[in-house]
């Protein structure tokens, strides 16, 4: 993560700084109780039992409010980074606790060099926002720094907040997503994680030897003989974005249409049976439309192109094997008479 270099440097210098400090002089503790109460946020109890994500309270907002935190106007975010699936150590009950899911991190700095960063202001703002959300307080103390030495990836996958308290909250949104948010001050930075199990869609790699021909002349012959041609186009996982590796296929389809001015086609999108059938239907429609848009960009008239998705409903091979699934993930070019 981009913000790690400063945090790791802080870790290595901590011992030198702490050893060089003299023992502080005694302070007068006879401060009025009224003054103490006025300067502190509302006291929250921390549940010290073992952390379980399913015990987080449900708040009144849904996940559209992500990332759920705002910065005071004199501060701004820097070095923002989002990782779709990552492990990160959050301070919970005074100990580093490894959680996994979608991670968003960013550093915090002042809007201008004339403004001095205030830990107190940032803590108070963070606490009040979390309290208003109805989040559960999970930590407000320093994490046991000796554990850094026995957890191999702790420094790389955490806020090395040695000598300072780590503030952590958690909650479940009303649409059922679990989030843990942490403020670290040795840096300073915020981490927001949607805690979730590993569930990333994969797709088989189709060797070029098994793909249908994408030569424009062969496509023209197939359409002349059968009324259709099949091409295999690589899209981003669970998305309609055409991968750069398949631009040559788009080029050949474009050449086909430029060479045959009277040819009109309907672009059919198909998927395998991985995932939800309704989602696959929508995805295949979007992918067919994406191919149509790419051809229009290559000066093919829009009235010569139609697009439709069929999802997993028209397989040409068994979905019981990866090879069969690869054949079913296809785009068909159907001649319009």
Instruction: List, for residues 306-315, the tens digit of each pLDDT value.
Output: 999 999 999 9
- Span 268-289, average pLDDT: 93
Rounded Cα gap, residues 333 and 196, in angstroms: 39
C-alpha pair distances (Å), 94 with each of 6, 7, 248: 23, 19, 55
pTM here is: 0.49
Rg (CA), the chain: 28
Does the pLDDT at position 202 exceed 80?
Answer: no
Q: Are 271 and 329 spatial neighbours (Cβ–Cβ below 8 Å)?
A: yes
State the pLDDT at residue 238: 82
Buried b (16+ CB within 10 A) or exposed e, 261-298: eebebbbbbbbbbbeeeeebbebbbbbbbbbbebbeee
pLDDT digits (tens, 9 = 90+) for 154-179: 556 777 666 788 999 999 999 999 99
pLDDT digits (tens, 9 = 90+) for 119-128: 999 999 999 9
Does the pLDDT at position 151 exceed 90?
Answer: no
- Span 134-138, average pLDDT: 96
Rounded Cα gap, residues 324 and 71, in angstroms: 51
323 vs 163: which has the higher pLDDT: 323
State the pLDDT at residue 198: 83
pLDDT digits (tens, 9 = 90+) for 76-98: 999 999 998 999 989 898 888 88
Residues above pLDDT 70, as percent of the chain: 76
Sketch out the chain's domains with CATH numbers.
43-195 (no CATH), 208-335 (3.30.1330.60)
40 vs 253: which has the higher pLDDT: 253
- Span 198-205, average pLDDT: 64
3 vs 37: which has the higher pLDDT: 3
State the pLDDT at residue 245: 87
**Most distant CA pair in the chain, distance:** 96
Q: Are 214 and 291 spatial neighbours (Cβ–Cβ below 8 Å)?
A: no
Q: Are 137 and 101 spatial neighbours (Cβ–Cβ below 8 Å)?
A: no
What pLDDT band is residue 45 in, cutting at 50, 70 and 90? low
Sequence-separated (6 or more) residues with CB below 8 Å from residue 208:
none
């Amino acid at each position: 993560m981009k913000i790690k270099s400063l945090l790791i440097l802080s870790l290595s210098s901590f011992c030198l700084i702490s050893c060089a400090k003299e023992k502080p002089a005694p302070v007068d503790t006879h401060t009025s109780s009224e003054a103490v109460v006025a300067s502190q946020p509302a006291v929250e109890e921390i549940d010290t039992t073992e952390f379980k994500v399913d015990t987080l309270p449900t708040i009144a907002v849904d996940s559209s409010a992500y990332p759920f935190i705002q910065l005071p106007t004199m501060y701004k975010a820097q070095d923002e980074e989002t990782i779709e699936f990552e492990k990160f150590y959050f301070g919970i009950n005074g100990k580093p606790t490894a959680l996994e899911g979608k991670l968003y991190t960013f550093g915090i700095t002042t809007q201008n060099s004339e403004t001095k960063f205030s830990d107190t202001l940032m803590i108070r703002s963070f606490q009040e926002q979390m309290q208003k959300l109805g989040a559960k307080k999970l930590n407000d103390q320093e994490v046991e720094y000796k554990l850094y030495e026995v957890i191999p990836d702790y420094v790389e996958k955490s806020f090395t907040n040695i000598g300072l308290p780590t503030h952590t909250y958690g909650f479940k949104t009303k649409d059922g997503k679990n989030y843990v948010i942490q403020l670290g001050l040795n840096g300073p930075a915020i981490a927001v994680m949607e805690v979730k199990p590993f569930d990333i869609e994969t797709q088989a790699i189709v060797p070029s030897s098994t793909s249908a021909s994408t030569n424009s002349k062969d496509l023209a012959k197939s359409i002349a003989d059968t009324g259709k041609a099949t091409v295999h186009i690589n899209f981003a996982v669970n998305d309609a974005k055409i991968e750069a590796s398949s631009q040559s296929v788009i080029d050949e389809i474009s050449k086909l249409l430029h060479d045959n001015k009277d040819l009109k086609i309907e672009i059919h999108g198909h998927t395998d049976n991985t995932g939800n059938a309704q989602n696959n239907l929508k995805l295949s429609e979007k992918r067919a439309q994406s191919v149509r848009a790419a051809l229009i960009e290559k000066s093919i008239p829009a009235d010569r192109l139609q697009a439709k998705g069929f999802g997993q409903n028209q397989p040409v091979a068994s979905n019981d094997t990866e090879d069969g699934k690869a054949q079913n993930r296809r785009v068909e070019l159907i001649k319009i008479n």
